[in-house]
Structure 1
Amino acid sequence: MRTIEIYDTTLRDGVQDVEIHLSLTDKLRVAKSLDDLGVQYIEGGWPGSNPTDKQFFKEMRSYDLKYSRLAAFGSTHNPKHKAENDANLKALIEAKPAVATIFGKSWDLHVTDALRIPLERNLEIIRDSVAFLKPHFEDVFFDAEHFFDGFRENRDYALSSLKAAHEASAGVLVLCDTNGGTLPSDLREIFDVVRKELPEARLGIHTHNDSDMAVANSIVAVKSGASQVQGTINGYGERCGNANLCSVIPALELKCDGKFQCLPEGKLTHLTTVSQFVAEIANLRPFLRQPYVGRSAFAHKGGIHVSAIQRNRRTYEHIEPEAVGNEQRILISDLSGRSNILEKAKKLGYKLEREDALVGDLLAEIKDRENRGYEYSSAEASFELLFYRVMGWSKRYFTPINFRVTDALLQGEEVMSEATVMVKVRGQVEHTASTGEGPVNAMDRALRKAVERFYPCISEVRLTDFKVRVLSGTTQGSPGTASHVRVLIESADKNSRWSTVGVSHNIIFASWNALVDSLTYKLFKDDPRKWPNHKP
């Protein structure tokens, strides 16, 4: 088994994603999670480019990393300076990481048109930069920027850039597909040439995803001899992103007949958690259909599929979800058959028979509701509440009586929303009011105010996402503004996330239904006396 070094650059290349900005605290938390995952290298940033990265390396000196070594990123020295006088290289040394990674030009086009220096001068800069840094670090890695484009246009010069870094004792020569346009077949051929030209050099791969080939190219590079893979969690990065380590790592560990190991033993099962954690820190919604770690990666909706995986999971799952810390999900929709209901019931603690009348009742109810616009495959909390009601659960934590929402345009363009809510809680009628940033926020605040006194745990709930979709065909002959709408609300507390749904021709009423389900589900899941453990 060959060990493949995983070099994570989420904190440097990943934050160049247009949607991402990480504070110093964010970067420290992500670094800790990457160390817990067990990646070999964490590239913390470019200390010579901004104060946040400089402070990050200072703060990290007090952290005791268990598995990872910290790397700092920079460039070869300025052509106008000598290496020993270059501020960028000095910043790398002052950051005091274990490893320095510097990029240099390997495409002659960049040397002549971007740097505007002679080709030989660029090779001198590469040699001098690596040699100057080498005594100050455990290792120095050289990122050959635009290597594959450079190789295609001037093979000899691209190879010369690698040889210059190798002569200066760079620990790893990293071949970079910086523009992300290389195909796997071409990459394999180029890698083979490099291995013949530099048989003693350790090679790495750094790919971008502009042609949707970053993961494939990384795997081909490893099979062609690369010992280090650079990439980011969830594939974050500039333009179309970098190689997604959440796909590269399991592909190498699980799909290559045990030939490669990327993480310490037992750490692969942490991958899904790390993926979700980094997305949360980046304030980005996780990509549901992301391979391996996405919430839909092992989700089954069609009745035929569910029936098959009940007999043998391999029929529709390419790996065991638990291998990467994920889980199988059985979705409920108008495509569902009895197999979906039986499997879902099993996960909720019920062993039902296929011909049980309750199974038919629930299936009919779901299909009727989805015909009216409900979507339970995306609102599993609402489905769970519906399931228990059909099964006979009758407990109500609170009973809505009525609500009213008003919007008023104040001076200028400011709009004020106010909601009044009346609910019955434990035999008492609560009548509350609240303002908010829009009508849904006002309703949410007023409803919480009415319920929270009786159920303090409601204060833990926060709404994390709100989606509205206009449904065509639900109101025959009506104009678009009179169509039914579906509202999906995602909520979370300190332990979990859940989604609820509401449907109506009135967007406020649809939102109200989804809100009521959201708070009801929180109370239900926290209730130690809930059925089936305690029947009412």
Structure 2
Amino acid sequence: MPDKSNLISIYDTTLRDGAQREGLSLSLEDKVRIARQLDELGIPFIEGGWPGANPKDVQFFWQLQEEPLQQAELVAFCSTRRPKIAAADEPMFQAILAAGTRWVTIFGKSWDLHVIEGLKTSEDENLAMIGDTIAYLRSQGRRVIYDAEHWFDGYKHNPEYALKTLEAARQAGAEWLVLCDTNGGTLPHEISQVVREVVQATGGTTPVGIHTHNDADTAVANAIAAVMEGATMVQGTINGYGERCGNANLCSVIPNLQLKLGYKCLEDHHLASLTQASRFVSEVANLAPDEHAAFVGRSAFAHKGGIHVSAVERNPLTYEHLQPEKIGNVRRIVISDQAGLSNILAKARSFGMTLDKQHPACRQILQRLKELESQGYQFEAAEASFDLLMRQALGHRQQMFELKGFQIHCDIGVTKNALATVKVAVNGKDILAAAEGNGPVSALDDALRKALVNFYPAIAAFHLTDYKVRILDSGAGTAAKTRVLVESSNGHQRWNTVGVSGNILEASYQAVVEGIEYGLLLESATDLELAGSTVLVQ
């Protein structure tokens, strides 16, 4: 049996508090997909939104009544009743009850400043609003979590009154008292002291939770500090999404509590899905994942310096604070001009190639790598290109087609389309093809694929998914050298290639051509083992 004193209830508010992030907009379908992903992750409480606040949230709760989550408790969110209105007569509670959830989270005012200036009512009426609201919802068969809004600011200014608000919630039947750092400016040592005093004041009669915002960049540390002082619920969001600077990032809170401090947040097999869940949510939210995020970022366990790589190859503990597999991440060996032979050997193994330091190609690859990176190439962000570089040195790279020439014509009139004409040779046969695109790179890519698709039908499924340009020596003005990074996909895999030139179209061509070449390698049954999954964007 698990030690219940060590259990931490994780409460996810990505769909409500997280969705308040600037630039984040979730459709009904998005919310349902994220809710089901969180359910699969084993999150105990999932806050779905405020029923009645907008039609989308109403439909969301209706849809999950028809097709319930498998294990998580779906939670509706709402404020206390308004001043001078009985909870039973408060219209907004009808939508809350209609949502059909067993649990409801109610937030109320803890700070007397907000009571007087925000609600424009008396302190006693605020206490009545808290108690009446919770008692009414309990009478309707709901279980209630009470979020004490602006708790830490309120407690600092008037601790006696702030504690009265918690007592009103507790006496009315709230089963959790969650302390909210709504402005996000409290520091960890303050959190520790206040939570300790609240736990002592309440005598442990009602469990305490923590809800922190990240305005001082301490939301994760604050959540951990609260747990260490007795909080047994942590509210936060996947990837730390939220208003202003965000909320406590559950992707950091959970592994810190479970793997570093020994608390139980998720089952181990669920914890191993954390990285995948983080990336899934960022994908659905249409936000680029933070590749340098702790624990779940693509670079969280990436090793670049040659000495680091050599040490990690002997014992990962030398430069890793935990095993990446425990949270579903992977170790990556990054190739750059800081690489040594250890990087080359490790990267070759990740591609399924067996090399040792005595292999004549090993130093050739390292020398070529450093030459190209000095010219502006960046292989740590274009591992498919590096795979092709290694194949070239080992004599394994096949020339699938040869460029004979290309021309691009750009129309800057009404249509703003570009026309690309390419001439390539395949098996000694010349092919001429032309295509239009939304810009020169798109047109070039389309023309190349049009020329090659009859010889390589798999190309029909290839498409560009990302295109990045960087000016390497801006002081040179229009003569500056340009680096182009291209991400390509075949619908179920993605890979990155790079090109560098003083001519942006030439750089783009290099990256696009290598993207097509590498995609064909992935499609080739004889090359799948050599291609290796590590090169793919996780």
What TM-score, normalized to structure 2?
A: 0.95
1:65 to partner: Cα distance: 2.2
The equivalent of 2:215 in structure 1 is 210
Tell me the amino acid that sits aligned with residue 389 of structure 1.
Q
In structure 1, what is the Cα distance between the partners aligned to 2:442 and 2:32? 33
1:107 to partner: Cα distance: 0.8
Question: Comparing 302-311 with 455-464, which one deviates more in the overlay?
Answer: 455-464
The equivalent of 1:235 in structure 2 is 240
In structure 1, what is the Cα distance between the partners aligned to 2:221 and 2:528? 48
Cα distance per residue 1:259-302 (max 9 Å; x no partner): x1111241111001011111110111110100000000000000
Residue 451 (1) aligns with residue 452 (2):
yes
Matches within 5 A, 1:116-515: 116-199=120-203, 200-256=205-261, 258=262, 260-411=263-414, 414-472=415-473, 479-515=476-512
Aligned with 1:13 (options 5, 10, 17): 17
For the residue of structure 1 that corresponds to 2:322, the secondary structure is: coil
1:430 to partner: Cα distance: 2.9
For the residue of structure 2 that corresponds to 1:490, the secondary structure is: strand
For the residue of structure 1 that corresponds to 2:380, the secondary structure is: coil
Tell me the amino acid that sits aligned with residue 440 of structure 1.
V
Matches within 5 A, 1:73-112: 73-112=77-116
Cα distance per residue 1:132-164 (max 9 Å; x no partner): 112335521111111001111111111111111
Residue 526 (1) aligns with residue 526 (2):
no
In structure 1, what is the Cα distance between the partners aligned to 2:329 and 2:225? 26
Tell me the amino acid that sits aligned with residue 319 of structure 1.
L
Cα distance per residue 1:188-222 (max 9 Å; x no partner): 00001101111211111111001110101111111
Cα distance per residue 1:32-64 (max 9 Å; x no partner): 110110000111111121111110000111224
For the residue of structure 2 that corresponds to 1:71, the secondary structure is: strand
Change (3 A) 1:533 1:245: closer
Change (3 A) 1:149 1:399: same
Tell me the amino acid that sits aligned with residue 149 of structure 2.
E
* Superposition RMSD in Å: 1.7
Tell me the amino acid that sits aligned with residue 42 of structure 2.
G
Change (3 A) 1:164 1:454: farther
In structure 2, what is the Cα distance between the partners aligned to 1:515 and 1:465? 11
Kept in 1, the 8 Å contact 2:11–2:235? The answer is yes
In structure 2, what is the Cα distance between the partners aligned to 1:248 and 1:464? 32
Tell me the amino acid that sits aligned with residue 406 of structure 1.
H
Kept in 2, the 8 Å contact 1:97–1:137? The answer is no
Matches within 5 A, 1:26-65: 26-65=30-69
In structure 1, what is the Cα distance between the partners aligned to 2:50 and 2:480? 52
Change (3 A) 1:153 1:523: same
For the residue of structure 2 that corresponds to 1:420, the secondary structure is: strand
Question: Comparing 415-424 with 120-129, which one deviates more in the overlay?
Answer: 415-424
In structure 1, what is the Cα distance between the partners aligned to 2:171 and 2:294? 40
Structure 1 residues without counterparts, runs of 5 or longer = none
In structure 2, what is the Cα distance between the partners aligned to 1:343 and 1:103? 53
For the residue of structure 2 that corresponds to 1:49, the secondary structure is: coil
In structure 2, what is the Cα distance between the partners aligned to 1:242 and 1:207? 6
Change (3 A) 1:497 1:138: farther
Change (3 A) 1:533 1:189: closer
For the residue of structure 2 that corresponds to 1:494, the secondary structure is: coil
Kept in 2, the 8 Å contact 1:300–1:330? The answer is yes
Tell me the amino acid that sits aligned with residue 405 of structure 2.
N
In structure 1, what is the Cα distance between the partners aligned to 2:36 and 2:454? 38
1:80 to partner: Cα distance: 4.6
Cα distance per residue 1:150-188 (max 9 Å; x no partner): 111111111111111111111111100011101000000
In structure 2, what is the Cα distance between the partners aligned to 1:16 and 1:533? 45
In structure 1, what is the Cα distance between the partners aligned to 2:344 and 2:268? 37
Kept in 1, the 8 Å contact 2:176–2:206? The answer is yes
Question: Comparing 244-253 with 387-396, which one deviates more in the overlay?
Answer: 387-396
Change (3 A) 1:138 1:462: farther
For the residue of structure 2 that corresponds to 1:170, the secondary structure is: coil
Report sequence identity in percent: 49
1:315 to partner: Cα distance: 0.5
Tell me the amino acid that sits aligned with residue 318 of structure 2.
T
Kept in 2, the 8 Å contact 1:76–1:89? The answer is no
1:377 to partner: Cα distance: 0.7
For the residue of structure 1 that corresponds to 2:269, the secondary structure is: coil
1:386 to partner: Cα distance: 1.2
Change (3 A) 1:382 1:151: same
Change (3 A) 1:533 1:110: closer
Change (3 A) 1:363 1:87: same
For the residue of structure 1 that corresponds to 2:423, the secondary structure is: strand
Kept in 2, the 8 Å contact 1:75–1:88? The answer is no
1:427 to partner: Cα distance: 4.5
Tell me the amino acid that sits aligned with residue 232 of structure 1.
T
Tell me the amino acid that sits aligned with residue 501 of structure 1.
V
Cα distance per residue 1:50-85 (max 9 Å; x no partner): 111110000111224222110111111122522112
Kept in 1, the 8 Å contact 2:388–2:397? The answer is no
For the residue of structure 1 that corresponds to 2:66, the secondary structure is: coil
1:469 to partner: Cα distance: 0.8
Kept in 2, the 8 Å contact 1:100–1:137? The answer is no
The equivalent of 1:71 in structure 2 is 75
In structure 1, what is the Cα distance between the partners aligned to 2:80 and 2:429? 72
Structure 2 residues without counterparts, runs of 5 or longer = 532-538
Cα distance per residue 1:16-43 (max 9 Å; x no partner): 1112111111111111110110000111
Question: Comparing 33-42 with 134-143, which one deviates more in the overlay?
Answer: 134-143
Kept in 1, the 8 Å contact 2:294–2:300? The answer is yes
Kept in 1, the 8 Å contact 2:7–2:264? The answer is yes
For the residue of structure 2 that corresponds to 1:409, the secondary structure is: coil
Cα distance per residue 1:459-514 (max 9 Å; x no partner): 333333221111128xxxx7321110111112334333221111011111111111
In structure 2, what is the Cα distance between the partners aligned to 1:312 and 1:510? 39
Kept in 2, the 8 Å contact 1:48–1:87? The answer is no
Kept in 1, the 8 Å contact 2:521–2:528? The answer is no
1:400 to partner: Cα distance: 2.5
